């Protein structure tokens, strides 16, 4: 049954097609990994830039509030102590709710990024995605 030349040619073609399919799947996996890692890296870079800018803004707003409190309280040290106490209380609140405020959203973001069934390269690059919905 398998001894005829036609069957051997079909099996050879089938093996070649399987090798080609495996190669294409591996290349697709590489492209998806690069795409997802670049999305993650861009998220980290944008997050770091926003963190630095917001840190500067918070620092200047804190100094402004401390100056305003100094006029009301009469003591620069006490006004800075009030600002520090506010940030300590805020830190304790965030630490107490870290699972809900930090860990959960970060885990969901990474899980959605890497476990998404749709190819990452196709998001937003479709011509029809700019049409009105």
Average pLDDT per 10 consecutive residues for the chain, totaling 133 residues: 74 93 95 91 95 96 94 92 96 94 89 73 46 43
* Contact in structure between 84 and 78 (CB atoms under 8 Å): no
Q: pTM higher than 0.75, yes or no?
A: no
* Radius of gyration in angstroms for the set of CA atoms belonging to the chain, rounded to a whole number: 29
């Amino acid at each position: 049954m398998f001894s005829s030349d036609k069957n051997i040619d079909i099996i050879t073609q089938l093996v070649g097609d399987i090798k080609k399919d495996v190669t294409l799947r591996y290349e697709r996996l590489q492209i998806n990994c690069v795409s997802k890692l670049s999305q993650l890296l861009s998220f980290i870079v944008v997050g770091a830039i926003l963190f630095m800018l917001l840190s500067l803004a918070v620092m200047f707003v804190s100094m402004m509030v401390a100056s305003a409190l100094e006029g009301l309280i009469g003591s620069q040290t006490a006004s800075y102590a009030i600002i520090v106490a506010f940030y300590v209380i805020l830190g304790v609140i965030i630490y107490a709710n870290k699972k809900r405020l930090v860990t959960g959203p970060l885990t969901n973001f990474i899980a959605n990024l890497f476990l998404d069934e749709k190819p990452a390269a196709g998001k937003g690059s479709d011509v029809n995605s700019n049409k009105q919905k």
